[in-house]
Amino acid sequence: MLVEKVTPYYRSLINEGDRNDPLAAMVLFSERERDVRPEESPDPIGDVACQACANGRLIHRYPDRALLLVTNRCPAHCRFCFRRERLDTSAPDIDDQELNDVVEYVGQHKEIREVILSGGDPLSLPDGRLLGIIYKLRNAGVVSIRLHTRYPAYDPDRCRTIGRVAERLDAIVVHIAHQREITTEFRGAIARLRAARFLLNQCVLLKGVNDSVEELAALSLSLVDIGILPYYLHYPDLAPGISHFRVPINEAIRLVRALHGKLAGYAIPRLVLDIPGGKGKILLPLTGVEHTESGTLLLTSSLTGEIVEYRESL
Ligand code: SF4
C-alpha cells in the first residue's frame, strides 16, 4: 500500500472540515484503495516490457523518445499514482553507472530525439545532479529534454533555485489537476520554471476532483492565464486500488466534448488513454467509443496498430 505523504504546504491548502475536499482526495489515504480490481495491475501501462537498460531506469516505448526515471522519490504521494509500485523514499536515485548505461544506450539509438526526465519527481534531485544529467544527455546527441514535475503544486519553494536547470530544458510539464492548486506560491514557482522553452500541463481526470465541465474549464483558463498550455487529460490507468477515481470512458469523452463549446482550442487538453501492455497512448475519439456485447472496448494502438480489448474498471 502506498504510504501517505503530504507536504505541510499542500496540507495547508486542504479544507480540513470538508470530507469531499478535492485536494484531500488527491493525497490522503482512502479505505477505497483496498478495493483492487482484477483488471488492475502493478504495471498498468507495461513499463516492464519497454525497459531498455540500466536497472529499469530507461523506458523506450516510442521510437523517437524515451523516459528516464531518475528517482523513486516524490514530495507527496498522489493517491492515483500509476507508478505507485515504484515509489519508495528509501530507494536510491539514479547512480553514475546507471546514468552511463543510459547515455551509452541513447548514443547508440540515434532515433531517440527526446528524453523525458521523470520518476518519481525529478526535482527531488539537487539542481547540480540534474544539470549533470542534462549535460550528459545533450552530449549523447539528445535534441530535446523534457521534465515532468508536481513540485510547483506540492512544494513551490523547491523551485526557488531552479532557473539554471529550467533554461536548459525544452519543456517542463507540470501536473496540476485542480484550480485550487494555482496559488500565489505556485505562480512564483512557475515564474522560475518559465526559462524553459515550453510550459505545459497534463493531469489525470479524477472522479470527485475535476470531473465536471466547470472545474475542467476553470482549471484550463487558470493555466492559460499564466502561460501554461493544457496538453493532456489522462484517463486513469489501471493501477491497483484507484477505481474510485475513474468515471466511465464515455463520460470522460462527454466532458471534453463539452469543453469544445466553451474554450478556445489551445485551452482544451487532449483526452488520452494508455493501452495496457506497453501498447502506447491513444487519443480518445470525441464521438464516443462503442462497447462490445461483453462490455469491453476495442481500442486501436497508434504505436503497434493492434486492436486491443480493454475492460473498464469502475
Ligand atoms: S508526483 Fe507523479 S510519480 Fe509522484 S506520486 Fe504523484 S503521480 Fe506518482
- Is residue 276 within 8 A of residue 238, CB to CB? The reply is yes
Residue 18 scores a pLDDT above 80: yes
SS3 156: helix
What was the pLDDT predicted at 205?
98
pLDDT band at 282 (very low <50, low <70, confident <90, very high): very high
Burial 114-135, CB ≥16 within 10 A → b, else e: bbbbbbbbbbbbeeebbeebbe
Does ligand 1 lie within 6 Å of residue 81's CB atom?
yes
pLDDT band at 198 (very low <50, low <70, confident <90, very high): very high
Does ligand 1 lie within 6 Å of residue 206's CB atom?
no
What was the pLDDT predicted at 264?
97
Does ligand 1 lie within 6 Å of residue 83's CB atom?
yes
- How far apart are alpha carbons 107 and 143 in whole angstroms? 12
* The three three-digit cell numbers of residue 190, written as one number: 512557475
Residue 56 scores a pLDDT above 90: no
Which residues does residue 115 pair with via DSSP β-bridges, in sequence order? 66, 145
- 204 CA: nearest ligand 1 atom: 7
Query: Taking the alpha carbons of 175, 229, 124, 112 in that order, is the dihedral positive or negative?
Result: positive
Burial 173-194, CB ≥16 within 10 A → b, else e: bbbbbbbbbbeebbeebbebbb
Quote the percentage of the chain above a pLDDT of 90.
88
Which residues does residue 58 pair with via DSSP β-bridges, in sequence order? 53, 68
pLDDT band at 177 (very low <50, low <70, confident <90, very high): very high
What was the pLDDT predicted at 58?
96
Tell how far the Cα of 152 is from the centroid of ligand 1, in angstroms.
13
Does ligand 1 lie within 6 Å of residue 204's CB atom?
no
- 148 CA: nearest ligand 1 atom: 2
SS3 164: helix
Residue 1 scores a pLDDT above 90: no
pLDDT band at 90 (very low <50, low <70, confident <90, very high): confident
Pocket test for ligand 1, best of 77, 118, 245 (most atoms within 8 A of CB): 77
- Is residue 235 within 8 A of residue 206, CB to CB? The reply is no
Tell how far the Cα of 291 is from the centroid of ligand 1, in angstroms.
31
Tell how far the Cα of 274 is from the centroid of ligand 1, in angstroms.
16
Going by alpha carbons, the residue nearest to atom 3 of ligand 1 is 120
SS3 144: strand
Which one is predicted more confidently, 160 or 87? 160
* The three three-digit cell numbers of residue 220, written as one number: 484550463
Going by alpha carbons, the residue nearest to atom 1 of ligand 1 is 150
What was the pLDDT predicted at 54?
63
